[in-house]
């Protein structure tokens, strides 16, 4: 009899535990790490790049909605909104904060110094105090960064190969971006090296973009170089449209401009850079310290040309430039 009672107690206990298992599993699944993503630009314009970021997470076993969550915050070009957005991510129990652009990274580091930071930077993160060095970041931040000087010089070289006539080249920058000052300096140095006159145009909102392009009516430029900037990227449709309206050949930093109708781009393979961001974020979620992850310097660059746009501008792309293209849009 005692054995029978013990057996019934055992069966009852097992049954109760079995009934509790689904509840426990659901509770465990609901507690998943949160990744905060912060950009000074528009999140809508980053849809494809964020897909690459999630692919990077997936390569290391993290699937959004299954074992990781992402909180997205975008400032839509309004840099003064970044501190509040960064503070919001810090309060939403983010395990890691991922940023696009130096401005977003600096704000996130200030707002949440104890939260690991993974950044994408178009300039030297060491110079801006985000890390001690590329090989040994040393602090609580690491990521993907490329030095723009070589890319700036290459874009200016492309202008001179496409348009071998004298004249001024305009350079469009966002004056509110922390990266605008070094970008200006690098372009000015590259221009001095080859003896190319340039004019800096500034724009930090849609109205200023219209005004910047209006200068071509009174001071025509042979071409335009658009600098790397999250806000300018988020306004790529407007920029490409204005370049077409004013018949200005423009060189950009990424293929999305060219896919939208821009003439030509030379720059980092951004989808691959965002995939690397995802991989680093996953490693930190698994316990690796940012200080132990060297800052990645991209080695994949791409040249994309839109022949339809070239034809509309009356341009003939030199054969040697076409031969170097990674992609030609016809």
Residue 14 maps to a domain: no
Q: Specify if 311 maps to a domain.
A: yes
Q: What is the mean pLDDT of residues 161-188?
A: 88
Task: For residues 57 and 201, state if they share a domain.
Answer: no
User: Which residues lie below 8 Å from residue 100, measured CB to CB, with a gap of 6+?
Assistant: 37, 38, 39, 40, 41, 46, 119, 120, 230
Residues 194 and 259 grouped into a single domain: yes
Whether residue 187 is found in the same domain as residue 313: yes
In this predicted structure, the answer to whether residue 39 has a pLDDT above a threshold of 60 is: yes
Domain membership of residue 54 (yes or no) is yes
**Residue 271 token pair:** 């989808």
DSSP secondary structure, 27-93, as one string: HHHHS--EEEEEESS-GGGGHHHHHHHHHHHHHTT--BTTTBEEEEEE-TT-GGGHHHHHHHHHHTT
The pair of three-digit structure tokens given for residue 125, joined into one six-digit string:
């993160």
* 20 in any annotated domain: no
Q: pLDDT-derived band of residue 2, with 50, 70 and 90 as boundaries?
A: very low
Residue-wise pLDDT for 75-87, tens only, equals: 988 889 999 999 9
| Mutual angle of helices 206-218 and 236-245, in 10-degree steps | 20
Q: Is residue 12 part of a domain?
A: no
Which distant-in-sequence residues (6+ apart) come within 8 Å of 134 by Cβ? Answer: 126, 145, 294, 295, 297
Q: Are 187 and 160 in contact (CB under 8 A)?
A: no
Query: In this structure, are 227 and 136 located in the same domain?
Result: no
Here the tokens at position 132 are 């001690």
Residue 77: its pLDDT value, please?
Answer: 81
In a domain, residue 133? The reply is: yes
Q: How confident is the model at residue 118 (pLDDT cuts 50, 70, 90)?
A: very high
Do residues 191 and 167 both lie within one domain? yes
Residue 309: both structure tokens together: 């746009």
Least Cα distance to 226 among 189, 196, 197, 267 occurs for 267
Q: Which residues pair with 38 in a beta bridge?
A: 73, 99
| pLDDT of the residue at 149 | 64
Residue 255: inside a domain: yes
Give yes or no: residues 115 and 73 share one domain. Answer: yes
Same domain, 53 and 195: no
The pLDDT > 90 percentage for the chain reads: 68
Residue 194 has pLDDT above 90, yes or no: no
The pLDDT value given to residue 29: 42
Residue 72 in domain = yes
Beta strands 301-306 and 264-268 are antiparallel
- Residues 262, 275 share a domain: no
pTM for the full predicted model: 0.80
pLDDT score recorded for residue 245? 96
**Is the separation of the CB atoms in 77 and 41 below 8 Å?**
yes
Q: Are 129 and 157 within one domain?
A: no
Same domain for 71 and 209, yes or no, is: no
DSSP 98-124: EEESHHHHHHHHHH-TTS-EEEEESS-
Instruction: Read off the pLDDT of residues 291-324 as tens digits, 9 standing for 90 and up.
Output: 999 999 988 889 999 999 999 999 999 999 999 9
* Structural domain count of the chain: 2
Range of the domain at 42: 30-146+270-292
Q: Using 50, 70 and 90 to split pLDDT, how confident is the model at 207?
A: very high
Which pLDDT band, with edges at 50, 70 and 90, does 181 fall under?
Answer: confident
Rounded CA separation 211/320 (Å): 35
Task: Say whether both 192 and 57 belong to one domain.
Answer: no
Residues 198 and 315 in one domain: yes
If you average pLDDT over residues 36-52, what whole number do you get? 91
CATH number at residue 233: 3.40.50.2300
């Amino acid at each position: 009899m005692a054995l029978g009672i013990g057996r019934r107690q055992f069966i009852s206990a097992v049954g109760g535990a079995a009934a509790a298992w689904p509840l426990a599993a659901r509770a465990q699944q609901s507690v998943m790490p949160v990744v905060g993503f912060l950009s000074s630009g528009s999140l809508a314009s980053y849809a494809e790049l964020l897909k690459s970021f999630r692919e990077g997470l997936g390569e290391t076993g993290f699937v959004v909605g299954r074992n990781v969550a992402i909180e997205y915050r975008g400032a839509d070009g309004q840099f003064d909104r970044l501190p509040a957005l960064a503070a919001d991510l810090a309060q939403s129990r983010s395990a890691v904060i991922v940023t696009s652009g130096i401005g977003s990274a600096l704000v996130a580091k200030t707002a949440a110094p104890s939260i690991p930071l993974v950044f994408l930077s178009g300039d030297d993160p060491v110079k801006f105090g985000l890390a001690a060095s590329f090989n040994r970041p040393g602090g609580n931040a690491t990521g993907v960064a490329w030095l723009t000087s070589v890319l700036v010089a290459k874009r200016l070289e492309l202008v001179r190969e496409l348009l071998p006539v004298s004249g001024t080249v305009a350079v469009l920058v966002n004056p509110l971006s922390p990266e605008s000052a070094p970008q200006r300096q690098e372009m000015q140095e590259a221009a001095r090296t080859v003896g190319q006159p340039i004019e800096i145009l500034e724009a930090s909102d849609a109205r200023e973009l219209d005004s910047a392009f209006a200068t071509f009516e009174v001071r025509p430029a042979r071409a335009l170089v658009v600098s790397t900037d999250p806000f300018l990227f988020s306004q790529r449709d407007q920029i490409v449209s204005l370049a077409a309206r004013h018949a200005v050949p423009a060189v950009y930093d990424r293929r999305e401009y060219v896919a939208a109708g821009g003439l030509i781009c030379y720059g980092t393979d951004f989808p691959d850079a965002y995939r690397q961001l995802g991989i680093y974020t996953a490693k930190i979620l698994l316990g690796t310290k940012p200080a132990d992850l060297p800052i990645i310097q991209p080695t994949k660059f791409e040249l994309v040309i839109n022949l339809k746009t070239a034809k509309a501008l009356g341009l003939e792309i030199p054969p040697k430039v076409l031969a170097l293209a990674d992609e030609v849009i016809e």
